Structure 1
Amino acid sequence: MTIQTVILAAGMGSRLGRVLPKSLTVLSDGRSIMQQQHENIRAAFGDDARITTVVGYRAEDIVELFPDANYVYNERYDQTNTSKSLLRALSATGRGGVLWMNGDVVFDPRILDRAIGNIQADQSFVTVNTAKVSDEEVKYTVTPEGWIDELSKTVVGGIGEAVGINYISQRDKRAFMRQLSRVDDQDYFERGLELAIAEDGLRLLPMDVSDLYAVEVDFAEDLERANAALL
């Protein structure tokens, strides 16, 4: 079975202060962020994984280093956010479910091992960390039944953080894409998930990986934390 995976790497990543795309930032072990993502995907899914990367800013730098991946170009990378980049990628991946991740996530490869059961069951999920809840991160709440209820940076009373690795099932994909097409250009893809929950009855599972590392690298201190986790 082909596992469709998407890496969102179109943005400029200006907060980190690098010239190259943020996904090409070199880690302490000598790999780039994107290289460790590719290796983690291959370790979990082998040749069954089809990797599609959304590129924009300095796209040629990424394509040159990863020529075997499939690419979707967001020419409006400087005017849109992850909602529109993900919409383009989902449109290019056929009918099946899709695992996707932000292009700046440094993560424990065991996270994808843990995700395999949900992917095989075609259960939509968001990977979460309940160990901390920072104001600047995407936070979430759950329904009494345990499904994701609210999911955004503005959530009040969040019980954990989303860590940027997610899966949308085949049955939920069309509704999610419809909502992504509706949201504002500057919205994150989480807004599309929230609308699909509210209007389409999407049941989104919080997959807890609090015992494993997953760091979204936005600032220099995040890079330090990611490098420390690799030791």
Structure 2
Amino acid sequence: MTIQTVILAAGMGSRLGRSLPKPLTQLGDGRSIMQQQHDNIRAAFGRDARITAVVGYRAETIVEAFPSADYVYNDRYDQTNTSKSLLRALSATGKAGVLWMNGDVVFDPRVLGRAIALIEQQQSFVTVNTSKVSDEEVKYTVDAGGHIDALSKTVVGGIGEAVGINYISAADKRAFVRHLHRVDDQDYFERGLELAIAEDGLKLRPLDISDLYAVEVDFAEDLERANLFV
């Protein structure tokens, strides 16, 4: 399977308190977070999978670590959020569907294996964890048909959390890109998905991976938890 994948790695990651970009943080098994992501992508989709990283803060350190990847540079990484980094990547990947992930997510390799069926069906999705719902995380609710109808940190009555690994199909990509252009610089990409749902009828499936590990590394305690799995 030849698939377009994107890793959002432009941010400074200041909350973790490290000088290198957060995706280069070393895990307990000796790999970096981004190396684990590359390995998981290759394991699921083979050597032909195209990996594009959006870089900004200390971009050269990521390029040197992964010279064979493709790169998009967000020169406003210190002024914009994930919506604008993802917009740059989607604009650089043509009309094809795209699987993307936040550059600080350490996750079970089986997550992407579980996603293959939906990708083959060209079904847009957001991976979710229904085992916990924290106030500070991106939460979601679903409509009567089981599709996501609200997706943000301010969702009330959320039934789970978004994990940070997502797919937009070729058919849905154009509308999503249009809304990413519209949203504010400080919005997360989830705002673009919400607008596409509300205004274009985007059918976005929640892909439940609650039985698998996925840790978004923001703080030192998150890194400790991720290292319990790798």
Tell me, yes or no, if structure 1 residue 6 matches structure 2 residue 3: no
For 1:49-107, what per-residue CA distance to the aligned partner results, in whole angstroms no more than 9, with x for missing partners?
A: 00000000000000000000000000000000000000000000010100000000000
Q: Deviations for 1:175-228, whole angstroms, at most 9, x for unmatched residues? A: 000000000000000000000000000000000000000000011111111111
Aligned partner of 1:88 in structure 2 is 88
Match of 1:158 in 2: 158
SS state at 1:27 partner: coil
Partner of 2:52: 52
Alpha-carbon separation, structure 2, partners of 1:184 and 1:227? 35
Matched, 1:214 2:217: no
Offset of 1:108 from its aligned partner? 0.1
Aligned residues: 230
Q: Alpha-carbon deviations, 1:86-142, whole Å to 9, x = none? A: 000000001010000000000000000000000011100000000000011000000
SS in 1 for 2:137: coil
Q: CA deviation at 1:2?
A: 2.2
CA distance in 2: counterparts of 1:171 and 1:4, whole angstroms: 15
Aligned ranges 1:23-172 → 2 under 5 Å: 23-172=23-172
Aligned mates of 2:155, 2:190 — CA distance in 1: 12
CA distance in 2, matches of 1:14, 1:94: 32
Q: Distance in 2 between matches of 1:78 and 1:96?
A: 29
2:197 aligns with 197
1:147-187 per-residue CA deviation (whole Å, 9 max, x = no partner) reads 00100000011000000000000000000000000000000
Q: What letter matches 1:69 in structure 2?
A: A
Distance 2:168 2:46 in 1: 20
Q: Structure 1 counterpart of 2:200, which letter?
A: D
Unaligned runs of 5+ in 1: none
Q: Distance in 2 between matches of 1:22 and 1:217?
A: 8
Structure 1 residue 47 displacement after superposition: 1.9
* Counterparts of 2:219 and 2:147, CA distance in 1: 31
In 2, distance between residues paired with 1:182 and 1:199? 13
Read off the aligned partner of 1:170 and give its amino acid letter: A
Opposite residue 76 of structure 1, the aligned amino acid is: R
Give secondary structure in 2 for the equivalent of 1:144.
coil
TM-score by length of 2: 0.99
Cα distance in structure 1, aligned partners of 2:54 and 2:201: 28
Q: Give the distance between the partners of 1:178 and 1:114, measured in 2 at CA.
A: 29
